[in-house]
Amino acid sequence: MGWLEGDVALITGAGSGLGRALVDRFESEGARVVAFDRSPERVAAVEAAHQGTVVGVAGDVAVGEDNERAVAQALEAFGRLDTFIGNAGLFDYGARLADTPMETLDRGFDELIAVNVKGCLLGVKAALDALVAASGSVVLTASLSSRNAGVGGAIYTASKHAVVGLVEQLAFELAPEVRVNGVSPGFMRTDIRGPSALGLADRTLDSMPDLDQLARALLPLRFLPDPADYSGHYVQLASRANAAATTGVVVDCDGGFSVRGMPPLPGG
Ligand SMILES: NC(=O)c1ccc[n+]([C@@H]2O[C@H](COP(=O)([O-])OP(=O)(O)OC[C@H]3O[C@@H](n4cnc5c(N)ncnc54)[C@H](O)[C@@H]3O)[C@@H](O)[C@H]2O)c1
């Protein structure tokens, strides 16, 4: 018996990386899933891998009607919605303020924040009535950049701090019917892209050969996690039986990055 038997989840950014791992894990825990992603090819691939238990929706999380269409699909296909997972995201690859021209910064901010922050907000808005009806929950993907500077640039770091703000504000507003929590993953090798306004539409973490080495050197836990390594936190937070009293919480699972400390002082 899985932890999410009979539940229905809507997962954004479900076509790749962490979102795809969440679809696989939620399905294995007994949930039926609506997999929402901008890429129609990825949506088709997820659907094909889980026939009968996963329904795909191609759309943009930054567009209100696309979120409404995804929620309508959950209700039409499965009759209910228990969990909304706002996970689609872009990364700014550490773009530095001083090196970014004003106009590029302006457009890059709008493009990234529209996905990482507005996408979560519009998704929860679209799902709200269904979540209230099911006494369901929300889980948003934050990041180690929700509490650490210097991995992302200012735009990404601000966007992931804002996700924590959404978790706390929405947990306050939506109680007692709907629990709202977040998960802050650390490094993982995925296909994550950047805003085209910053010239990062084709950049991916996937192509960084030294990511394993970096993780071993930097993280107290000394390994590069797979996306699936983060999925258990989402399952627990979504599970009524295992997180009934939990709302407004963001779970850090960053390999210890936030507690890495510093090397011994010379002579110390
Ligand atoms: N990769 C990391 O190291 C890392 C670390 C911490 C947090 N995260 C967060 O994890 C989440 C998932 O990222 P990932 O690394 O799995 O990336 P990914 O690119 O592998 O997966 C993200 C998916 O989101 C989709 N997407 C992008 N913009 C969209 C939009 N506007 N509408 C709908 N779908 C859209 C993409 O098509 C892609 O399939 C993001 O929120 C990211 O910030 C990633």
Give CA–CA dist 146/128, Å, rounded: 25
Phi, then psi, of 165 in degrees rounded to 5: -60, -40
Distance 209 CA to ligand 1 centre (A): 19
Give domain limits for the chain: 8-256
Of 93, 156, 230, 234, catalytic: 156
β-strand partners of 84 = 10, 138
Class level of CATH domain 8-256: alpha beta
Q: Report which secondary-structure segment, H or E, holds 140.
A: strand 137-141
Active site residue 156: yes
Distance 165 CA to ligand 1 centre (A): 19
Give CA–CA dist 203/201, Å, rounded: 6
For residue 229 and ligand 1, the question of a CB distance below 6 A is answered with no
Give CA–CA dist 234/79, Å, rounded: 22
pLDDT at residue 268 in the model: 66
For residue 255 and ligand 1, the question of a CB distance below 6 A is answered with no
Q: Render pLDDT for 217-268 as a digit per residue (tens, 0 to 9).
A: 999 999 999 999 999 999 999 999 999 999 999 999 999 999 999 888 888 6
Nearest residue to 120 via CA among 85, 75, 80:
85
For residue 61 and ligand 1, the question of a CB distance below 6 A is answered with yes
Q: Render pLDDT for 119-158 as a digit per residue (tens, 0 to 9).
A: 999 999 999 999 999 999 999 999 999 999 999 999 999 9
pLDDT at residue 207 in the model: 74
For residue 63 and ligand 1, the question of a CB distance below 6 A is answered with no
b (16+ CB within 10 A) / e for 134-158: bebbbbbbbbbbbbbeebbbbbbbb
